């Protein structure tokens, strides 16, 4: 587990060099955003303890396996002391509902045991975070904005290996995020909506934190819209 302090309220946790989760500091402990792939529960709980608190909430950007992979193990360890929040549509997909025509892109968990306590909608609050709709990578994908300082947790709308890219853009160093994207048009629209928030800092599901990301996001959107 690699740990990086991004802001006083946000720590990025990276597992296996490719997948991120985030600890967001609140008065009662931490909100953990995403859970990485399977096998991460002990490391994630340990990172929260080392940062001086407990995981009180688990908020998910979307339902792909590399983001909900350690959810069941975390829930098993933390029990009723933790609240689980998942975007509405992705929660329904994970529960087995068929909500879109055709096959969904990406890897989805087959036997997720944990039922979210809350199904998230745009505008909801999770502690200091505000939920921002950003569908496209998955039907229900959401981003989170820290209302204290504008930090954007963009999930898989963008990747940031080498440079910022919209997940519609095929990128050899990390093709999985593009291959897993459900609706490229919507994903690009969401990229524009997140850009309009003008975040001072952006973190993503795959890749390092980006400070003052505006110009890099503009270039990414421009490349993506030419395709
Ligand atoms: Zn994904």
Question: pLDDT for 45-80, tens place per residue?
Answer: 999 999 999 999 999 999 999 999 999 999 999 999
CA of residue 161 to ligand 1 center, whole Å: 15
SS3 194: helix
Nearest to 136 by CA among 110, 166, 173, 102: 166
CATH superfamily of 2-226: Ribonuclease Z/Hydroxyacylglutathione hydrolase-like (3.60.15.10)
CA of residue 224 to ligand 1 center, whole Å: 18
The torsion of the CA quartet 171, 179, 60, 33, rounded to 10 degrees, works out to: -20
CA of residue 198 to ligand 1 center, whole Å: 23
Tell how far CA 182 is from the center of its chain. Answer: 16
For the stretch 110-138, pLDDT in tens is: 999 999 999 999 999 999 999 999 999 99
For the stretch 137-182, pLDDT in tens is: 999 999 999 999 999 999 999 999 989 999 988 766 667 777 788 9
pLDDT of residue 174: 67
| Mean pLDDT of the region 181-205 | 97
pLDDT of residue 134: 98
CA of residue 197 to ligand 1 center, whole Å: 21
SS3 43: helix
**CA pair distance 197, 201, nearest whole angstrom:** 11
Residue 11 has pLDDT above 70, yes or no: yes
CA of residue 165 to ligand 1 center, whole Å: 14
């Amino acid at each position: 587990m690699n740990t990086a302090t991004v802001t006083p309220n946000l720590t990025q946790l990276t597992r296996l060099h490719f997948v991120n989760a985030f600890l967001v500091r609140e008065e009662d402990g931490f909100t953990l955003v995403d859970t990485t792939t399977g096998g991460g529960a002990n490391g994630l709980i340990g990172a929260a303890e080392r940062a001086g608190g407990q995981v009180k909430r688990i908020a998910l950007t979307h339902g792909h396996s590399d983001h909900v992979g350690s959810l069941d193990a975390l829930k098993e360890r933390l029990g009723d002391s933790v609240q689980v929040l998942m975007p509405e549509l992705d929660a329904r997909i994970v529960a087995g509902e068929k909500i879109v025509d055709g096959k969904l892109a990406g890897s989805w968990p087959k036997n997720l045991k944990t039922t979210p306590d809350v199904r998230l909608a745009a505008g909801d609050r999770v502690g200091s975070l505000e939920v921002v709709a950003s569908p496209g990578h998955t039907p229900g994908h959401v981003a989170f904005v820290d209302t204290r300082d504008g930090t954007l947790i963009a999930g898989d709308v963008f990747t940031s290996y080498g440079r910022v890219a919209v997940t519609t853009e095929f990128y050899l160093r990390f093709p999985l995020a593009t291959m897993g994207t459900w609706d490229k048009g919507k994903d690009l629209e969401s990229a524009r909506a997140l850009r309009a928030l003008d975040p001072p800092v952006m973190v993503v599901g795959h890749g390092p934190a980006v400070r003052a990301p505006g110009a890099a996001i503009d270039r990414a959107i421009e490349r993506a819209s030419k395709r």
